[in-house]
Amino acid sequence: MVEKTVDYLIEAKGISKIFGGTRVLDHVSITLRPGEIHSLCGENGAGKSTLIKVLSGAYKPEEGVVAIGGKEYPHLTPLIAKKKGIEVIHQEIILVPQLTVAENIYTDVPYRTAGFFSMKKTCEAAKKLMDEIGIQLDPYETVERLSTADQQFVKILKALAPNPKVLIMDEPTAMFNMKDTDMVLDLVKNISKKGIGIIYISHHLKEVAKIADTVSVLRDGKLISTYHARDGAVDMDQVTCDMVGRPVDMFYKREKSNTGDVLFEVKGLQLKESDTPVDLYLKKGEILGLTGMVGSGRTEIIRAIYGLDQRFAGEIRKDGQTLQIHNPHDSIQNGIGYVSEDRQKSGLVLPLSVLSNLTFLKLPLKKGLISTKQEMDISEDMIKKLDIKTPSMFKETGMLSGGNQQKVIIGKWLHKGFDILILDEPTKGIDVNAKFEIYKLLHDLTKQGKSLLVVSSDMPEVISLCDRVMVVRDGKIAGEFTGGEITEENVIKSALEVK
Amino acid sequence: MKEKTLRTRAKIGNEMIFLPVVIIALCVISGLINPRFFTIANFLTIFQQVAVLGILTSAMLMLLVMGAIDLSYGALIGLCSVILCNLISVQGVDPWLALLIMFGTALGAGALNGLIITKFKCEPLIVTIGTSYIYLGFAQVISQGTYQSIGGAFPFIGTGKLGLIPMPMIVLVIVLLLMFVFLRYTPFGRKLHIIGGNSEVAFLSGIPVKAYKLLAFVLGGGICGLAAFVLTSRIGSALPTNGSGYELNALAAAIIGGASFSGARGTVLGAFFGVLLLGIVNNALNILGVDAFYQTVVLGVIIVIAVIFSNIKSK
């Protein structure tokens, strides 16, 4: 069958976008038909976001044109795109937390009584919209009282409210745990069945494999390949290969290190009196993974260990000695470091330089004053050792990429010195290549006899990185696996309580 | 080469390129219109006039770096002034003891601000607006609305000279140098940057955030006391409103010099340039004979323009 242009809801025709001499997009063409789920894959910086911005009229391309419903729009603006039925769901939360679900969905106040906003009509409309696609939320609830997952649903509803023809979703499952992820995927399928075309961006190739009709891979601003599910199942290894530009295994391979004696023990940890006590131990040179569903209590456990939250009971021992840990200061004194989940919010001091971020935990002093020269030596050394890519050690850390930011944080602890490092989601939002660099770095640390406690939801990461995995469910240890037992099946079963 | 540029910029900030240019331009224009501007005596006058503001700005800068602010400084200067003069000339207390009590008050007021802010996790902006009324009120109670003289005590600090150099200028330079070393080369100063840049990171890194904040507020109060001392000694008498407006000028000077409400940014050199800019504008307008009421307008315009430009520059 010969496809006519008119069949496409939206079409990018040879789009090029240039920023300051760099071609961020290079003659990229993609199409989208009604009811199609078209997945865009690519590493961070491959040009996915730029392409979306061109399609939605936020950026004007230097070359090429966007056609909507067969008509070319050389001067597309966000307003025109919206009018023509193109809706984008961005990753960032764009909701007003103090307003109700319904008010957030209908921000342009279409439902009124005598010209004034009608809460009743708005909520009724919201309820109707939710029923159509099978979401159950109370339209009268204020958004700030919803879980992060439910807030994501509100964002999707908000995008559906103006009856779009094209829905662009940027990492819609980033905020969800595994169970809810399936709900989102079902939802996406339901939406596409209504004839809405969907451009779906996700780092999670498994999701892509489940729902995409078409998969397009971008790399360095070029369209590398497009696969159609109707031609047979899309080979995700091939997609990964296209993304990275060289054959890679989706799993990082490491030689398991030799672990030593038990270094660190947590006994009978209870956050509240009603909690089941949690026990765990960590050997010298070992990477222990702590996994489970989002909200299963993993983060709470490590926060309590590090002394961030009060604990009701529990003993923390290192080298057989009981430690008195009441706050982060105590932990650091005892050789425990902590790399939090959110690099930007609680990992780095963004307005300060790479140098300042690396050295402040242990400032080199000379006669009681900071020695700038030694600071520079330390930074230079660390930047080399960890291969931190920064134009200068004086660059603000806010300007670095996610992977390099994470390296700065690990470098900070390396400079301070530690025996045990607790890392919460160490590679969240970091692209594949940088991920592997971080894994290698962590692995090298264990060779030096450091012990790592890694909280992670990333299954390939847990399986390939850890010597031992503990699965947390409802604040309890639901399973423990070593070596060959660490399989996706085992871990997920124990995380979900599947018999 | 590039490394060096970045390093220099990281060290001194973008404002350092823009502000001196503006200051020199202002001087040249003023000097061309009225040659009297370009005399050593006039420059010394400028320094004498900005000394109190400069001392206070160093305290404000320290708090801004830490991500905080203290708007009670103006009122606190008034209170310190009134206490010093009242004790000496009305109560007949030994001047040195009076001075000690005054500094005690200043440190105590800083501690009170810091305690409320750290204990109850309140916004420094609102808390210090509130306490500023308390300090101003006490100053009014003590002075009963009358001028009180310092009784001739400590004339040297405000009006004395070391050779050609006026004492206030010497005090200013010492305070700025100490603050420079403090913010750049002491662990405490560096940690204030960390707290200001991201207090969550500071806490996770084992920095006793509350204690550091409290100490910074106490230190700020002490510096404010010093500013009050220099001011009172220079004018020789006290009114509760002696310091009114100083807190906002200090804030403006620090911000013009590159500090930011969001913390971690700002340098002593930048703040000094900010102070100098305000001082020179004031002086130039006087020398050029601009009507006093218009002077206020022009000063406002210059502050706004300076902030806009230093913002553009730093992007």
Tens digits of per-residue pLDDT, A291-311? 987 677 888 899 999 999 888
CA B311 to CA A152: how far, in whole Å? 35
Q: What is the pLDDT of residue B137?
A: 96
Query: CB within 8 A of A402, min separation 6: which ones?
Result: A44, A343, A429, A430, A431, A434
Report which of residues B104 and A111 the model is more confident about. B104
Cα–Cα dist B256/B87, whole Å? 38
Are the C-beta atoms of A454 and A288 separated by less than 8 Å? yes
- The answer to whether A369 faces chain B, any CB pair under 8 Å, is yes
Largest CA distance in chain A: 81
Q: How many residues does chain B have?
A: 315
Which carries the bigger pLDDT value, residue A91 or residue A391? A391
Distance from CA of A38 to the nearest CA of B (A): 38
Residue A420 has pLDDT above 60, yes or no: yes
Instruction: Please give the radius of gyration of chain B, using alpha carbons only, rounded to the nearest integer.
Output: 20
| Residue in B190, B206, B265 closest to A370 by CB | B190
> Alpha-carbon torsion B16, B21, B24, B29, what sign?
negative
CB A363 within 8 A of CB A370: yes
Per-residue pLDDT, A347: 93
Question: Could you tell me if A317 lies within 8 Å of chain B, comparing CB atoms?
Answer: no
Which residues, 6+ apart, have CB-to-CB distance to B186 below 8 Å?
A368, A369, A370
Q: What is d(CA A350, CA B222) in angstroms, rounded to the nearest whole number?
A: 31
Q: In whole angstroms, give the CA distance from residue A90 to residue A78.
A: 14
Confidence of residue B315 (pLDDT cuts 50, 70, 90): very low
Q: Do B204 and A340 touch (CB under 8 A)?
A: yes
Query: How far, in Å, CA of A412 to CA of A426, rounded?
Result: 14
Specify the pLDDT at position A3: 47
- The one-letter amino acid at A420: I
Q: Shortest CA distance to A158 belongs to which of A182, A179, A137?
A: A137
A348:B185 CB<8 A: no
pLDDT confidence bin for B1, thresholds 50/70/90 = very low
Q: Position of tokens 């060096």? A: B4
Largest CA distance in chain B: 64
% residues pLDDT > 90 (chain B): 70
pLDDT in the model for residue A436: 86
DSSP-based three-state secondary structure for A95? coil
pLDDT tens string B72-84: 999 999 999 999 9
- Decide if pLDDT at A203 tops 80: no
Please tell me which of the candidates B186, B260, B264 has its beta carbon nearest to residue A370: B186
- Binned at pLDDT 50, 70 and 90, residue B87 comes out as very high
Distances (CA, A) of B208 to A242, A419, A492: 49, 22, 40
- Across residues A242-255, what is the average pLDDT? 65
Give the separation between CA B20 and CA B274, rounded to whole angstroms. 10
Residue A394 with chain B: CB contacts under 8 Å = 3, 6-7, 9-11
Q: Are B268 and B61 in contact (CB under 8 A)?
A: yes
What's the distance, Cα to Cα, between the start and end of chain A in Å? 49
Contact B185 A331 (CB under 8 A): no
Q: Residue B186: its chain A contacts at CB < 8 A? A: 368-370
Query: Contact A454/A290 with Cβ under 8 angstroms?
Result: yes
> How many angstroms separate the CA atoms of A184 and B89, rounded?
78
Q: Report pLDDT digits (tens) over A124-136.
A: 999 999 998 888 8
Angle at Cα A407 formed by Cα A405 and Cα A408, nearest 5°?
A: 65
Q: What is the pLDDT, as a whole number, of residue B8?
A: 54
Inter-chain CB proximity B204 and A365 less than 8 Å: no
The single-letter code of the amino acid at B73 is Y
Q: Which of A59-63, A305-309, A397-401, B116-120 has the weakest average pLDDT?
A: A397-401
Residue A12, classed as helix, strand or coil, is: strand
Quick one: average pLDDT of A323-347? Answer: 93
Q: B40-65 and B268-287 helices cross at what angle (nearest 10)?
A: 140
**pLDDT band at residue A289 under the 50/70/90 scheme:** very high
Examine the pLDDT at A178 and tell me if it is beyond 90: no
pLDDT digits (tens, 9 = 90+) for A10-34: 999 999 998 777 788 999 999 999 9
Q: Is the per-residue pLDDT at A5 higher than 60?
A: no
Query: Does A364 touch chain B if contact means CB atoms closer than 8 Å?
Result: no
- Of the listed ranges A141-155, A377-391, B133-147, B223-237, the least confidently predicted one is A141-155
- Chain A touched by B190 (CB under 8 Å): yes
Q: Where are the alpha helices (DSSP H) in chain B?
A: 2-12, 15-33, 40-65, 73-85, 95-119, 124-143, 155-159, 167-185, 187-197, 199-204, 209-235, 246-256, 268-287, 292-313
Gap between the Cα atoms of A461 and B171, Å rounded: 60
Check residue A101 and give its pLDDT. Answer: 94
Query: Measured in whole angstroms, how far is the alpha carbon of residue B194 from the centre of its chain?
Result: 22
pLDDT bin (cut points 50, 70, 90) of residue B299 is confident
B2 vs A contacts (CB less than 8 Å): 391-392
Question: How confident is the model at residue A430, as a pLDDT?
Answer: 81
Which one-letter amino acid corresponds to residue B11? K
CA distance A29 to chain B (A): 34
Question: Any bridge partners for residue A288, and if so which?
Answer: A453, A468
Q: What is the pLDDT of residue A481?
A: 93
The distance of B189 to chain A (nearest Cα, Å) reads 10
φ, ψ (nearest 5 deg) of residue A433: -60, -45
**Coil, strand or helix: which one is A491?**
helix
Judge whether B194 is closer than 8 Å to chain A, CB to CB: yes
* A56-66: pLDDT as tens digits: 999 999 999 99
pTM for this entry = 0.79
In this predicted model, what pLDDT tens digit does every residue of B167-192 receive, in sequence order? 999 999 999 999 999 999 999 999 99
Chain B from 117 to 136: CB within 8 A of any A CB: none
Instruction: Please report the ipTM that was assigned to this predicted complex.
Output: 0.86
Q: What is the structure's pLDDT at A499?
A: 41
Is B261 in contact with B69 (CB distance < 8 Å)? yes
- What is the structure's pLDDT at A488? 76
Q: Tokens 């900030």 label which residue?
A: B13
Residue A116 has pLDDT above 70, yes or no: yes
DSSP letter at B86 equals I
What pLDDT is stored for residue A297 in this prediction? 84
> CA dist A122 to A39, A100, A117, A132, Å?
33, 10, 8, 16
Confidence of residue A459 (pLDDT cuts 50, 70, 90): confident
Residue A71 dihedral angles phi and psi, to the nearest 5°: -100, 135
Which of A421-435, B180-194, B219-233, B239-253 is the least confident region?
A421-435
Task: Please check the confidence at residue B256 and state whether its pLDDT lies above 60.
Answer: yes
Contact: B205, A333; criterion CB under 8 Å: no
* Contact between residue A95 and residue A150 where contact means Cβ atoms under 8 Å apart: no
The alpha-carbon gap from B141 to the nearest alpha carbon of chain A, in Å, equals 44
Please tell me the distance from the alpha carbon of residue B146 to that of residue B238, in angstroms, as a whole number.
9
Average pLDDT (A424-436) is 84
- State residue A232's pLDDT score: 81
Residue B5 has pLDDT above 70, yes or no: no
Q: Which of B6, B185, B197 sits opposite A350 (nearest CB)?
A: B197
Whole-number mean pLDDT of chain B?
Answer: 91
Residues of chain B numbered 239-278 and touching chain A (CB < 8 Å): 260, 262-265
Under 8 Å between Cβ of A181 and A203: no
Looking at residue B234, what is its pLDDT? 94
pLDDT at A150: 86
Q: Which of A331, A351, A369 sits opposite B186 (nearest CB)?
A: A369
How many Cβ atoms sit within 10 Å of the Cβ of residue A377? 12
The pLDDT tens digits for B196-235 are 999 999 999 999 999 999 999 999 999 999 999 999 999 9
Q: According to the model, what pLDDT value does residue A207 have?
A: 83
Confirm or reject contact between B7 and chain A (CB < 8 A). Answer: yes
CB atoms A369 and B181 under 8 Å: yes
pLDDT score recorded for residue A2: 46
Could you tell me which residues come within 8 angstroms of residue B19 by beta carbon, excluding any fewer than 6 positions away? B256, B257, B270, B273, B274, B277, B306, B310
Q: Does pLDDT of A493 surpass 80?
A: no
- Cα atoms in the 13 Å half-sphere on the side-chain side of A84: 20
Q: In this structure, are residues A312 and A264 in contact, taking their beta carbons and an 8 Å threshold?
A: no
Has residue B10 got a pLDDT over 60?
A: no
Check residue A16 and give its pLDDT. Answer: 94
**What average pLDDT score do residues B251-276 get?**
92
Most confident of A36-50, B19-33, B202-216: B202-216
CB of B202 closer than 8 Å to CB of A332: no
Specify the amino acid at residue A102.
A
A391 and B2: CB-CB below 8 Å? Answer: yes
**Which of A407-411, A494-498, B29-33, B145-149 is the most confident on average?**
A407-411
The answer to whether the Cβ–Cβ distance between B193 and A338 falls below 8 Å is no
Average pLDDT over residues B128-133: 97
As given in the structure block, the two tokens for residue A300 are 């709470």
Question: Which DSSP letter does residue A391 get?
Answer: S
